[in-house]
Amino acid sequence: MRDTELFQMALALVSPWKVMASAFDPAQRRLEISIDFPAGERLPCPTCGAACRVHDTESKTWRHLDFFQHQAYLTARVPRIDCPEHGVHQVLVPWARPGSGFTLMFEGLILAMAPHMAVKNIAKLVGEHDTRIWRIIRHHVKEARARSDHSAVRQMAFDETAARRGHDYVTVAVDLDSHRVLFATPGKDSTCIAAAATDLRQHGGDPARITSVACDMSAAFTLGIKESLTNATITYDRFHVTKLIIEAVQETRREEQREGGWKMQLLKGKRWAFVTNESNQTVKQENAVAAVTLPMLHMKTGLAYRLKLAFQTAYACGPDQLRKWCRWASRSRLPAMIKASKSIQEHWAGVIAWFESDVTSAIMEGYNSLFQSAKSRARGYRNVEYFIDMMYLIGAKLDFSARIPTHTK
């Protein structure tokens, strides 16, 4: 079998395209494959599909998948056809998208690696500048999202994730039924919820048909949901309510530790002892908690920890016991616990909605872990748009099959 026949089969080219020649340059470690079409061939108009005569041609080159350890390139005369109805247009070649310097197979490889590797490492691996790699990712993410169907979305969750150190955040919306990222946008205010509702409409969904939303107790999120998702029941799930109590315990511990003396010796370096559930505590953590909760010491942190355990029991028993716990916490003389109790009572309808709907945004914490892991691999992103594209690539379950050849997967 001749080399041209072999490459013709490997590239899966169909008429009128044929491999005419191949050449390997050992000095540059580069394989060149030349593709052409027969003279006098009539090619389809990219608008109407009618067979039209060739107007002129332009030589183009695309980076393809590597040939063993060597870079491979396809070169072809790309014709423009003269359509009687639509005028002069460049034809679409089957191996690459318009305007790209890469074949679809090469771009498919990039999309397969991107969720698992830092883009700069991918660029180094394939020998391309990372800006060109990002262009591939951004194009296909945008194209795949445009085709996404959100018409079946009924339950959503919202949460924010840190984009950079400091106060840069991205709000993420997730479909709780299909477990996929629907939308992400910079910021964490009520306008982010409005933007998510707009995006939902653009993808065939209806904000009025959203029945349940899980989120934290952010006032901005609550306002945005009431304004943009008017028929949704807000649920402050167990994770976020429990997190509120844990933060109150930690704030109490830090305040008491700052008093110094023997209290500081008992509390210093014991953060995780008061966060970890009793069943998962190490012996060292158990001893630290036992010392701080001794009644004779009258330590604020000990009382806060006992309130945390009582909260967990009350939450498991239902709204009535939870209300009794709030009354107890409000009389505890611990500012952080009083504040947490007040917050729960102010958001009471959303807190007890969890007992009826069992809607939870726990999936958001899993996604947040993946997003932060991707950010850590990349040592941060140059701009927030790159970070958002990576979120879609990781969590949106995008379908790239419309353009990427299926045999590359």
Helix (H, G, I), strand (E, B) or coil at 205: coil
What pLDDT does residue 409 have?
39
Verify that 289 and 154 share a domain, yes or no: no
Q: Are 159 and 185 in contact (CB under 8 A)?
A: no
What pLDDT does residue 1 have?
63
Verify that 350 and 369 share a domain, yes or no: no
| Domain assignment of residue 114, yes or no | no
What pLDDT does residue 166 have?
62
Residue with tokens 């085709």: 147
Residue with tokens 């998702």: 229
* Residue 403 predicted with pLDDT over 60: yes
Verify that 172 and 228 share a domain, yes or no: yes
| Domain assignment of residue 348, yes or no | yes
Verify that 225 and 254 share a domain, yes or no: no
Sequence letter at residue 78: V
Verify that 51 and 159 share a domain, yes or no: no
Question: Residues 6-16: pLDDT tens digits?
Answer: 899 989 898 89
pLDDT bracket for residue 239 (50, 70, 90): confident
Verify that 3 and 75 share a domain, yes or no: yes
- Cis bond before residue 44 (omega within 30° of 0): no
Verify that 73 and 158 share a domain, yes or no: no
* Residue 322 predicted with pLDDT over 50: yes
Q: Which residues pair with 175 in a beta bridge?
A: 156, 180
Verify that 306 and 331 share a domain, yes or no: yes
Verify that 299 and 365 share a domain, yes or no: no
Q: Are 97 and 135 in contact (CB under 8 A)?
A: no
Q: Give CA–CA dist 311/15, Å, rounded.
A: 72
- CATH number (domain holding residue 174): 3.30.420.10
Pairwise pLDDT comparison (384 vs 360), residue with the higher score = 384
Dihedral sign from CA coordinates of 212, 216, 222, 228: negative
Q: Are 284 and 274 in contact (CB under 8 A)?
A: no
pLDDT bracket for residue 164 (50, 70, 90): confident
| Domain assignment of residue 326, yes or no | yes
Helix 300-317 and helix 335-346: axis angle, to 10°? 20
pLDDT bracket for residue 365 (50, 70, 90): confident
| Domain assignment of residue 13, yes or no | yes
Question: Residues 106-116: pLDDT tens digits?
Answer: 999 999 999 99
In the structure encoding, which two tokens stand for residue 328, read together?
A: 């107890």
Q: How many domains, the chain? A: 3
Verify that 205 and 270 share a domain, yes or no: no
C-alpha dihedral (175, 315, 216, 344), degrees to nearest 10: 150
Dihedral sign from CA coordinates of 288, 294, 296, 299: positive
| Domain assignment of residue 194, yes or no | yes
| Domain assignment of residue 264, yes or no | yes
Q: Give CA–CA dist 37/231, Å, rounded.
A: 59
* Residue 406 predicted with pLDDT over 80: no
Q: Give CA–CA dist 165/180, Å, rounded.
A: 26
| Domain assignment of residue 109, yes or no | no
Determine the length of the chain.
Answer: 409
Query: Which helix (H) or strand (E) element contains residue 409?
Result: none
Verify that 58 and 70 share a domain, yes or no: yes
* Residue 97 predicted with pLDDT over 80: yes
Verify that 339 and 370 share a domain, yes or no: no
Q: What is the pTM of this model?
A: 0.85
Within the chain, what is the greatest distance between any pair of CA atoms?
99
Q: Give CA–CA dist 353/342, Å, rounded.
A: 17
CA distances from 99 to 62, 83, 385 (A): 10, 21, 21
Per the structure, the complete domain to which residue 347 belongs is given by 238-357
In degrees, rounded to 5, the angle at the alpha carbon of residue 306 between the alpha carbons of residues 301 and 308 is: 95
Q: Give CA–CA dist 217/340, Å, rounded.
A: 11
Residue with tokens 């445009």: 146
What pLDDT does residue 356 have?
85
| Domain assignment of residue 130, yes or no | no
